[in-house]
A and B are shown apart, each in its own frame.
Chain A
Amino acid sequence: MPKQWKAILKQLALQLFLLTVTLVVLFPILWIFSLALDPRNIDKPLSLTLIPPGASLAAFRRVLLEPWKLLCKNPNDPATCMTFPLLLKNSLLVAMGTSLLAVALGSSAAYAFSRFQFIGRQAGMLGFIVLIMLPTTGLLAPLYILLSQIKLGNEPLRATLFGLVIAYSSGFLPFAVWNLKGYFDTVPKELEEAALIDGATIFQTFLRVILPLSVPALAVTVLNSFMAGWTEFILAWTFLENPSRFTLAMALRSMQGQFATPWSDFAAMSIVMSIPIVLLFFALQRYLVSGLTIGGVKG
């Protein structure tokens, strides 16, 4: 059966190609694993072995279970130090808030840019992207001043996690708007027209037709904005004051000491921090690859 042979050959070629990619992708990551298992806290393993001599999970245990001595309200009192669960909670709040806000605001704006002809459309869309072209090096100081002026309760918005969420999601909105607009463009307009004829309002078509059909792009946006909030540390270091609000990314960064870096702990922490992203990806994968499964439009 030549047809079957062809399929097998194709499968083999694909597997060979994808396994090569996997090797390249995994090489640096396995290397970090080996560092994390190494008890010597060295910055590079002396040989290429996945399991170094004397390998142990001690670094993981330290990272997860011991209080973070670098992050304490009062360095003399270990009870005021941050622990992994507290850092995790803050990181989750920031990352989830960022992705929620970015997706909600971004999809709404992207819908307008994709589906309407209106005054200022081109300029508006360029306006969004223009705002991320200015490098952020000089942006910290003015943003600090500005967000310090806005009070939330009796403290400045800047020093709260909500302040971070606003800053991150705004930094992320240009991506959200552009990415979603690009995807909305690929959704056939006939589907909306049909809905409008059936008496749906514009908002309903947006909510019930466009959004469900754009799940892959929404998933990309959620994933990406979650990651942006999850890994950012420069703004967080500048803005937050109270160690009880610190995030995992800040903790990771704080390990890069002036004099010595505990490399095993650093590697273990890097791996631990990647896990939620991979889990989120697994959770979203179904949506990421489930676009227009219906026949869509005939014609």
Chain B
Amino acid sequence: MAAIEMSKDIRGRRQDKWNEFWQRLKASRTPWLYIAPAGFAMLLVTLFPYIFQIWMALTDYRVKNLRFNLLDSASWAKYAPPFVGLQNFVKILTNRLAIENYDFWRLLLFNVTWTVSNVFFHVVLGVIIALALNSKGLIGRRIYRALFVLPWAMPGYVAALTWRNMYDDRFGAINQLLGIVNHYLGTSFPTNTRWFVVTQPPIGGPLGFLPLAFYCVLLANVWLGWPFMSVVATGALQAIPKELYEAASIDGASGWQQLWKITIPLIRPAMVPAIMLGTIWTFNQFNVIFFISQGNPFGRTEILITQSYKLVSEQRLYGAAAAFAIVVFAILLLFTLINNRITRATEAYYA
């Protein structure tokens, strides 16, 4: 008797749970309808290539396999690459790839340092300059804003090529500029520095693994990257109701307090996604490294993506390059999940 009642109870509870789930599912229909067009476009263009790439990473894909066409069965037998399992991954992680100066863990350390330092400067400079441009009564605001978008407006690899030429040891603008500074200020900076050849790190100690070339590419990429953060911050600053500052002033809050208690917390929701995207973009910033330092000296400014490009362009190891891409992906995913845990970027506003 009791057993029957209990099972009824469980069934009832299950029914409740099912109903609740059904309700939530029904409520999920509207939002998913809004997402569907974007989701469909993403699936079409990215999902299939990604699956293909995962398969490629498990094979020894070389030049001769390029004729392989997944959708043309006639090409399968002839051009399908041999399956090698996780061999590509093992080679990558245990430094058994036949490229010069290859060391995965050094690359990873450098890539993370590169990303963190860049994003830090992008955000700090971007926000500071956005705040300066947003201050009341500033003369020439529109002109400054238009000028500051220029680094961003230039095609990325044009900017990269320009910076490379500017770092030229004999005629580069940087060395010439130092010469002019020496001339007028009586200083004695060296004016023939070979920026990407010097192996002596400018800062020793724990930062001793960063050659002079790192600071050069950092400068170039900060120049390229801050305007974006500044534009996002400018947009977010507009959404702060002026009344908050008025009220704070009346309550006697200083400008510094207003910055930390009003401005920063209120632009945070808009900045967090930009920072997460900026992190991913910088982690895979190909142009700057590839065109400016080219990994010099001795591959010490190489990042993962430029290294994987060399696998394709120099060694024609497509399979290994695909595996490399997946390793990069895994690292970024980890990065983003940790980031998301800290910043709660995916929370809904209504949550």
**Chain A residues in contact with chain B, CB under 8 A?**
7, 10-11, 14-15, 17-18, 21-22, 24-29, 31-32, 43-48, 101, 104-106, 108-109, 111-122, 124-135, 137-139, 141-143, 145-146, 149, 166-167, 169-171, 173-179, 181-187, 189, 202, 206, 216-217, 219-220, 223-224, 227, 230-231, 249, 252-253, 256, 266, 270, 273-274, 277-278, 281-282, 285, 288-292, 295-296
Contact = CB atoms under 8 A, between A and B. Distances in A.
Interface stretch (B112-120, B192-200, B235-243): B235-243
A189 B349 contact: yes
Interface in B167-209: 168, 171-173, 176-177, 180
A185 B344 CA distance: 12
29 contacts: A14-B138, A17-B132, A28-B223, A29-B154, A105-B38, A109-B39, A117-B350, A119-B24, A119-B28, A127-B39, A129-B336, A130-B336, A133-B280, A134-B325, A134-B326, A135-B305, A137-B308, A138-B322, A139-B49, A167-B45, A173-B41, A177-B38, A181-B273, A216-B235, A223-B231, A277-B152, A285-B142, A288-B231, A288-B235
A281 B234 CA distance: 13
Nearest to A253: B157
Which DSSP category, helix, strand, loop or mixed, fits chain B's interface? helix
Given A27-B173, A113-B348, A295-B241, A186 B37 contact: no
Contacts of A278: 146, 149-150, 153
Given A31-B173, A289-B238, A18 B305 contact: no
B158 to A, nearest CB: 4
B153 A48 contact: no
Contact of A21 (B129, B166, B329, B350): B129
Contacts, number: 322
Contacts of B85: none
B42 A115 contact: no
Interface of B: 24-25, 27-28, 30-35, 37-39, 41-42, 44-50, 52-53, 56, 66, 69-71, 129, 132-133, 135, 137-140, 142, 144-159, 161-163, 165-166, 168, 171-173, 176-177, 180, 223, 228, 231-232, 234-241, 243, 266, 269-274, 276-277, 280, 284, 304-305, 308-309, 312, 318, 321-322, 324-326, 328-329, 332-333, 336-337, 340, 345-346, 348-351
Contacts of A292: 238-241
Given A48-B176, A166-B44, 6 more contacts: A22-B144, A22-B147, A125-B345, A134-B50, A178-B345, A182-B345
A7 to B, nearest CB: 7
A20 to B, nearest CB: 11
A118 B34 CA distance: 12
Contact of A216 (B37, B234, B340): B234
Task: Give 3 nearest A-B pairs by CB, closest first.
Answer: A291-B238, A216-B235, A112-B31
Nearest to B141: A289
A18 B351 CA distance: 40
A127 B45 CA distance: 14
A25 B302 CA distance: 26
Nearest to B53: A138
Contacts of A106: 38
Nearest to A104: B37
A138 B54 CA distance: 10
A45 B165 CA distance: 10
Contact of A135 (B37, B45, B325, B340): B325
Contact of A15 (B139, B154, B234, B241): B139
A128 B272 CA distance: 16
Contacts of B45: 143, 146, 166-167, 170-171
B134 to A, nearest CB: 8
A183 B236 contact: yes
A223 B348 CA distance: 26
B146 A285 contact: yes
Nearest to A13: B132
Between A26, A32, A166, the greatest number of chain B beta carbons within 10 A of the residue's beta carbon is seen for A32
B277 A178 contact: yes
Between A15, A46, A121, A135, the greatest number of chain B beta carbons within 10 A of the residue's beta carbon is seen for A135
A109 B49 contact: no
A8 B70 CA distance: 69
B274 A182 contact: yes
